[in-house]
Amino acid sequence: DTEVTQTPKHLVMGMTNKKSLKCEQHMGHRAMYWYKQKAKKPPELMFVYSYEKLSINESVPSRFSPECPNSSLLNLHLHALQPEDSALYLCASSQDSDVYYGYTFGSGTRLTVV
Amino acid sequence: AQSVAQPEDQVNVAEGNPLTVKCTYSVSGNPYLFWYVQYPNRGLQFLLKYITGDNLVKGSYGFEAEFNKSQTSFHLKKPSALVSDSALYFCAVRDMGAGANNLFFGTGTRLTVIP
């Protein structure tokens, strides 16, 4: 299995909703990442988990809450989002926390906040 | 801080012609450089990387990139473009911020191959 699987592929949520994005990989990778990508813009790093510990939190608002239950799974919990949070949310993994190995990306979750 | 620049938002090339997508970088220390491609509504796919060694790096789908230290460039090239190469291309550099390294992406270049 050489894939990163993200679910759901599409999500529409209201500003008072609570939802979660899920990311899963079975490549034995020990680092996992959340990126946010607005239309026609590059991906921007949100969180980095290395060996199941949060190592980077790029000043992301608290309405985004990451969770790494085990080395194969990464969640992003969403609560009280704003319309400007609408974006493509990408999960990635790498063999180790060193980018030497490059990243494997999932196809993303297209999030729309209404 | 590390940075990477893609000076062209859009590149158009005729099918069968050679293509070049430009990237310049600014890093302290030895650069780790990457190219990724993104098709509509999809995640990013790895094309190639330069860490060390030969300046000409060969990657997926017939792409290659040349590392030029004196010009701080890492341009992506392909000898003969295909319509299916039309996509968004990102150059990326290792960012050592916050004590853990990660990828910092350029603004992207949209490549359109015209039949």
Burial class of B41 by CB neighbour count within 10 A (0 to 12, 13 to 18, 19+): exposed
Does residue B99 have a pLDDT over 80? no
Q: What is the DSSP string of B44-99?
A: EEEEEEESSS-SEEE-GGG-EEEEETTTTEEEEEESS--GGG-EEEEEEEEE-GGG
Q: Which residues of A touch B42 (CB under 8 A)?
A: 107-108
CB atoms within 10 A of CB A35: 27
**Nearest chain B CA: its distance from A110 CA (Å):** 8
Residue with structure tokens 């969403």? A78
Q: Hey, what are B110's tokens? A: 């949209």
Query: Which residue from A minimizes the CA distance to B105?
Result: A42
Residue A80 CB contacts under 8 Å (≥ 6 apart), including other chains: A15, A16, A63
Chain B positions in Cβ-Cβ contact with residue A109 (cut-off 8 Å): none
Q: Whole-angstrom Cα distance, residue A90 to residue A29?
A: 16
Average pLDDT value for residue range B83-96: 92
| Local confidence pLDDT in tens for the 114 residues of chain A | 679 999 999 999 999 999 999 999 999 999 999 999 998 899 999 999 988 888 877 789 999 999 999 989 999 999 999 999 999 999 999 988 778 888 999 999 999 999
Chain B interface test: which of A5, A47, A93, A99 (most B C-beta within 10 Å): A99
The pLDDT value recorded for residue B56 is 96
Task: Name, in order, each residue with C-beta under 8 angstroms of A63's C-beta and a sequence gap of 6 or more.
Answer: A78, A79, A80, A81, A82, A85
Predicted pLDDT of residue B98: 53
pLDDT band at B105 (very low <50, low <70, confident <90, very high): very high
Interchain contact B35–A (C-beta under 8 A): no
Cα–Cα distance measured from residue B9 to residue B49, given in angstroms and rounded to the nearest whole number: 21
Q: How many angstroms separate the CA of residue A103 from the nearest CA in chain B?
A: 7
List, for residues B11-52, the tens digit of each pLDDT value: 999 999 999 999 999 988 888 999 999 998 788 999 999 998
List CB contacts (< 8 A) between B94 and chain A: 99
